[in-house]
Amino acid sequence: MADCKKASNLNSIDLSSPDISTSVSLLKQACMDSGFFYVTNHGISEEFMNQVFTQSKNFFDLPLEEKMKLLRNEKHRGYTPVLDELLDPANQLQGDHKEGFYIGVELPEDDPEAQRTFYGPNLWPDSDILPGWRQTMEKYHQQAMEVVKKTARLIALALDLDANFFEQPEMLGKPIAVLRLLHYPGQVSEPAKGIYGAGAHSDYGLITLLATDGVSGLQICKDKDAKPRVWEDVQPLKGAFVVNLGDMLERWSNGIFRSTLHRVLGNGQKRYSIPYFVEPSHDCVVECLPTCQSRENPPKYPRVKCEAYLLQRYQDTHADLSTYNKP
């Protein structure tokens, strides 16, 4: 049965608004409806965002052999080639028609925390080849986290929690935060043939902050069990980030807040996007919040440790590294 398609109408949250109650109300409505919304007046300048996208494009313009020198490692840092990731094996004939680059929390190898699964040193292009590239990405990594923290405060209030709930040490105090540069080379997606820019999936963690270059392609499906599925286009909003909730927040909220299926369809245009995936600390145990359960509404999901859950999801969706011949 063919999928249906329509336009989506997402709420927009002004992060600089002094009217907190209205912002929380708009956000709560969005989180219960689709788990997707825009944030505006977030504090990152348009000029700097243009710089980040320019540097991203500079990397993907390098010869493949140069990019393969930075092939992702066991800690999921570095380059992911086209077709490396398979997000929807039930419907995809082959992997996603996109290439990417993972940048995580930077820690030197001699730091004891660097032994953790998702911590450690990043892989960086040579500064002679891409001058200023590392500095730009590290600055963006830090600024994006500030936007996430502002958004997380509103999410906490929407769940009837203290505004600083997600800033506890075991959550955003020591987060697993992964910046991912993405390039869709222009392949036209053909869902009927199992060819996608990015297959249908939900994100794994707490929240994702998405910057796009203005080229459309992102779609969401509010009801994954509908037949046919109805896919809604999420149009880029100039100067705004698209925010979506991840699986862990759905589990925390006992299903009240939504981690929604989404995908990317290529339309023949090159497309660049930059998702920033934010998860709690390695040791954080995700379990139903006290404000989201009752005798009539007991916890729906078992407790899960963040590190184990993430590791399994990454292993399920990425090609085995042994399949690549490293240069």
Output the DSSP codes for 120-182. Answer: EPPP---TTTSTTHHHHHHHHHHHHHHHHHHHHHHHHHHTTS-TTGGGSIIIIIS-EEEEEEE
**Average of per-residue pLDDT across 262-267:** 95
pTM of the model: 0.93
Note whether residue 151 is domain-resident. Answer: yes
**Average of per-residue pLDDT across 295-319:** 87
**Higher per-residue confidence, 1 vs 67:** 67
Residue listed under structure tokens 């608004």: 17
The separation between CA 287 and the C-alpha centre of its own chain, rounded to angstroms, equals 21
**Higher per-residue confidence, 70 vs 228:** 70
**pLDDT band, very low/low/confident/very high, at 325 (cuts 50, 70, 90):** low
Count of domains for the chain: 1
* Cα separation, 197 vs 183, whole angstroms: 10
Note whether residue 127 is domain-resident. Answer: yes
**pLDDT band, very low/low/confident/very high, at 322 (cuts 50, 70, 90):** confident
pLDDT at 8 over 70: no
Of 57-66, 112-121, 195-204, which range is least confident? 112-121
Note whether residue 55 is domain-resident. Answer: yes
- H/E element, 296: none
Q: Tell me, what's the pLDDT at 310?
A: 87
**Average of per-residue pLDDT across 178-197:** 94
Q: Tell me, what's the pLDDT at 1?
A: 47
**Average of per-residue pLDDT across 10-14:** 96
Whether the CB-CB separation of 26 and 17 falls below 8 Å is answered with no
* Cα separation, 171 vs 11, whole angstroms: 26
Note whether residue 292 is domain-resident. Answer: yes
Look up the domain containing 89 and give its range: 12-319
* Cα separation, 258 vs 240, whole angstroms: 21
Note whether residue 324 is domain-resident. Answer: no
Note whether residue 326 is domain-resident. Answer: no
286, β-bridge pairs: 304
Whether the CB-CB separation of 12 and 240 falls below 8 Å is answered with yes
CATH number of the CATH domain containing 207: 2.60.120.330
Note whether residue 236 is domain-resident. Answer: yes
- H/E element, 34: none
Residues in Cβ contact with 100 at an 8 Å cutoff, skipping those fewer than 6 apart: 79, 80, 84, 85, 180, 181, 182, 183
Percent of the chain residues topping a pLDDT of 90? 77
**Average of per-residue pLDDT across 77-99:** 92
